[in-house]
Amino acid sequence: MMSQMPQPTALSRCPSCEEPLDAGDRFCGACGYDLSAVPAPPVDNPTITMNGSSPRPPSAVASVDWPLAPEVDSSDTPAPLHRAMDIQGTDSGGSELPHPHPESPHPHREPAGVRFDRPAQPDEYPLAPPAAEPAVGPTAGPTAGTAAGPAAGTAAGTAAGTADPRTADLGTPPAGTKLCVACRSGHVDSDGYCENCGHAQPRERDHMEQELGAVAAVSDRGLRHHRNEDAFAISSTALPDGSPAVVAIVCDGVSSATRPDEASLAASRAAGEALLEALPLGTHPQQAMHDAIVAAAEAVNALADASTAQGEHAPHVNAPACTIVGAVVTPTLLIVGWVGDSRAYWVPVDRSSLPARLTEDDSWAAQMVAAGLMNEAEAYADERAHAITGWLGADAYELEPHTASFKPDRPGVVVVCTDGLWNYAEAAEEMAEVVPLDAAERPLHSAQVLVGHALDGGGHDNVTVAVVPFPAPPQGAGSA
């Protein structure tokens, strides 16, 4: 969605000779393979059961039911069963969200509020060299146009035989400063450049990693984007009974909107903070997730620029926007919530059990499939497949937070990710194949492996993934 990721019929490598391909190639430049003969994407059965005891072919429909977590005010009546292939989000009133029907008066009309997020961008982003600055002091970086070359800018930079400052031993940097990633010896100034070799340092959001014991997340800019427009928030807290609750929020900025990086950061922070505030107070995790998505939407709405007003809805035009997906894991419950096409997957520790996709995309393709107008292969082969129909932002057509609650009967991990990952492992079975077997014990390593899988596949988009083991392990109270 957020990326310049080709449609599902595009490839990053030639299926015949494995040579890399460029966007828009119709034939392989190395072997001449006809790229239009691309196999249909694998069929995914979203929301299949997590507690099936015997494996079956991926294409079969799960036959085992799982229970839905009761609401806070539930009575003694049994909780309704949640059937496979029937995961349904709930609105703020608890009602099921409507799906388009093929017998509607306009079944082929594109869904209202569709956002096509594919601005034309070059495949490569050349980085301009840092602007030349005059030498100041003994540690000033190289100055363009000097005769002394790289040694210029040192105290005796013009003297013959002066050592290259990029290899000089500058000692231990003062506390609070960073070493250059290029020369490994110079100090990084406040502008993000090395004072020794002048190399521009990577931006903080280009690659981020965080681990909090029971949850870990990794985010990377990818290989084609000029900045990282994803963001995440992970944390842990305690419920009123002292049991742990682990939180993971992942947001994907809408590239065609203004300031998408700010939108994803604001949404992830707002949702994470809302959950950390509500869960210790005894709010049911499913309701807390709904409220957290609303809080995230309000945070993104606040970024809209009212100074461009040209009428009643002008501030909403191309306002900052993002998608959101989150998970809350307790010792007994697994809660997911989302808006957009970022996803959550369930991968059991026992790989003989079936994995599952826990979310249903807010996208053109998903609506076509739900309406019975196309099968998945047809829908995802269409150029409109990744057009999103739900997002957070002041110009969103309508905010409909989707939430679902599960009670897995076996240990596993929840993979919370943007489409920068699932474009390379779309079906639940494919995702399970790339999740390391020890993911529950090494969540950070697993998140790193999953990001690496996306980068190896082409890295066309920003990629962000959080790995959350289930059940939540016992740990101390308080947030992290």
Least confident stretch, 152-156, 256-260, 359-363, 408-412: 152-156
> What are the tens digits of pLDDT across the range 393-440?
999 888 989 999 999 999 999 999 999 999 999 999 999 999 999 999
> What are the tens digits of pLDDT across the range 202-223?
778 899 999 998 899 999 999 9
pLDDT at 114: 65
pLDDT at 335: 98
In this predicted model, which residue has the larger pLDDT, 147 or 255?
Answer: 255
pLDDT at 110: 46
Least confident stretch, 134-138, 296-300, 346-350: 134-138
User: Is pLDDT above 90 for 288?
Assistant: yes
pLDDT at 310: 46
Paired with 142 in beta bridges are none
pLDDT at 94: 53
pLDDT at 9: 41
Res. 116 pLDDT band, cuts 50 70 90: low
Paired with 211 in beta bridges are 216
Mean pLDDT of the chain: 75
Q: How far apart are CA 183 and CA 170, in angstroms?
A: 11
> What are the tens digits of pLDDT across the range 182-193?
777 788 887 778
Res. 273 pLDDT band, cuts 50 70 90: very high
User: Is pLDDT above 70 for 230?
Assistant: yes
Res. 63 pLDDT band, cuts 50 70 90: very low
In this predicted model, which residue has the larger pLDDT, 478 or 462?
Answer: 462
Listed in sequence order, the residues at least 6 apart from 32 whose beta carbon sits closer than 8 Å to its beta carbon are none
Q: What secondary structure letter does DSSP report for 117?
A: -
In this predicted model, which residue has the larger pLDDT, 131 or 440?
Answer: 440
Q: How far apart are CA 283 and CA 464, in angstroms?
A: 28
Answer positive or negative: Cα dihedral of 411, 416, 421, 427: positive
User: Is pLDDT above 70 for 42?
Assistant: no
Core vs surface per residue 399-416: b (16+ CB within 10 A) or e: bbbbbbbbebeeebbbbb
pLDDT at 210: 96
Q: Where do the DSSP E strands lie in 202-355?
A: 207-211, 216-220, 230-238, 244-253, 321-329, 334-339, 343-348
Mean pLDDT, range 261-274, rounded to an integer: 98
Least confident stretch, 88-102, 143-157, 249-263, 423-437: 143-157
User: Is pLDDT above 70 for 54?
Assistant: no
φ, ψ dihedrals at 96, nearest 5°: -65, 145
User: Tokens standing for 158?
Assistant: 């013009």
> What are the tens digits of pLDDT across the range 163-182?
444 444 445 556 666 777 67
> What's CA 346's distance to the chain center, in Å?
16
Listed in sequence order, the residues at least 6 apart from 61 whose beta carbon sits closer than 8 Å to its beta carbon are 45, 48, 84, 85
Res. 99 pLDDT band, cuts 50 70 90: very low
pLDDT at 475: 64
Res. 38 pLDDT band, cuts 50 70 90: low
User: Is pLDDT above 80 for 449?
Assistant: yes
Res. 96 pLDDT band, cuts 50 70 90: low
Mean pLDDT, range 315-335, rounded to an integer: 90
pLDDT over 90 percentage in the chain:
46
